Amino acid sequence: MAPATRPTQVSAWKREFLERAEKAFGDESSKEEDSVDVDNLFKQIGQLQVENDYLKKNLKKAGL
């Protein structure tokens, strides 16, 4: 059986949500900033894959 949630706790959660709702459902400008970060992350992933492949290749040549 699940523990009961007290009405005072639900009220506290509701009050906290209403105070911070803008952060949860921010405006469009924050979404644009996120896409820039994603592009940067994809670039870093590509760079790391190249470095990883280079190291694998050269470690095999070295016999390690």
pLDDT digits over 7-56, tens only?
Answer: 999 999 999 999 988 887 776 555 555 567 888 999 999 999 999 999 99
Specify if 11 maps to a domain: no
Specify if 37 maps to a domain: yes
Specify if 63 maps to a domain: yes
Specify if 7 maps to a domain: no
How many structural domains are present in the chain? Answer: 1
HEC letters along the chain: CCCCCCHHHHHHHHHHHHHHHHHHCCCHHHHHHHHHHHHHHHHHHHHHHHHHHHHHHHHHHHCC
Confidence of residue 2 (pLDDT cuts 50, 70, 90): low
Specify if 54 maps to a domain: yes
Domain that includes residue 58, residue range: 26-64
Specify if 44 maps to a domain: yes
Specify if 4 maps to a domain: no
pTM: 0.44
φ/ψ bin of 5: left (φ > 0), alpha (ψ from -120 to 50), beta (otherwise) = beta
Contact 48, 41 (CB under 8 A): no
Specify if 33 maps to a domain: yes
Residue 12 has what pLDDT?
A: 94
| 63 has pLDDT over 80 | yes
Query: 24: which residues sit within 8 A by CB, 6+ positions away?
Result: 17
Residue 25 has what pLDDT?
A: 78
Residue 59 has what pLDDT?
A: 94
